[in-house]
Structure 1
């Protein structure tokens, strides 16, 4: 795995922070974020997208990151594009 660190949320202190990486070998963006509360997870599980089964597959997760990290997500997308993703 070739994880390239992009950014960590500067406003969360030492309590564990939302983080963004680019995995160039797998050609993926990798996010660490906050777990949703039960209400948000239930809302996501109930959401239906045409052509897809409702719910969240066992191998997937819902995470949350703050809006203040949008510039960092854009930076990760730019890094992925530069890597040829």
Structure 2
């Protein structure tokens, strides 16, 4: 498994904070972040085109705006195929 650290929330206290990695073999993003609150989850569920509730094994996470550049960098790494 070729997982690479990309970045951490710049406002972190380095204790349980949003973090982004890329899995270069699977071409996936791995994201640790805050669980969305019940109201946000219900709204996302209602707006989903899937026509079904969010299934077991999936959840809605909230990623701070200040992490957008980190997510972009992770996507760029996957797009470039750098291993």
Q: TM-score, normalised by structure 2?
A: 0.87
Per-residue CA distance 1:28-65 (angstroms, 9 max, x = gap): 0111110111111111222231xx22321112111111
Q: Distance in 2 between matches of 1:9 and 1:74?
A: 13
1:46 is matched with: 46
- Residue pairs, 1:8-23, within 5 angstroms: 8-23=8-23
Q: Which runs of 4+ in 1 moved over 4 A?
A: none
Structure-1 separation of matches of 2:57 and 2:33: 16
Q: Which has the higher contact order (CA 8 A, sep 6+)?
A: 2
Task: Name stretches of at least 5 consecutive residues in structure 1 with no aligned partner.
Answer: none
| 1:32 corresponds to | 32
Aligned partner of 2:54 among 53, 56, 60: 56
RMSD (Å), alpha carbons: 1.5
Which structure is higher in strand share? 2
TM-score, length of structure 1 as denominator length: 0.85
Gaps of 5+ in 2: none
Task: Measure the CA separation in 1 of the matches of 2:62 and 2:22.
Answer: 17
Q: How many residues align?
A: 82
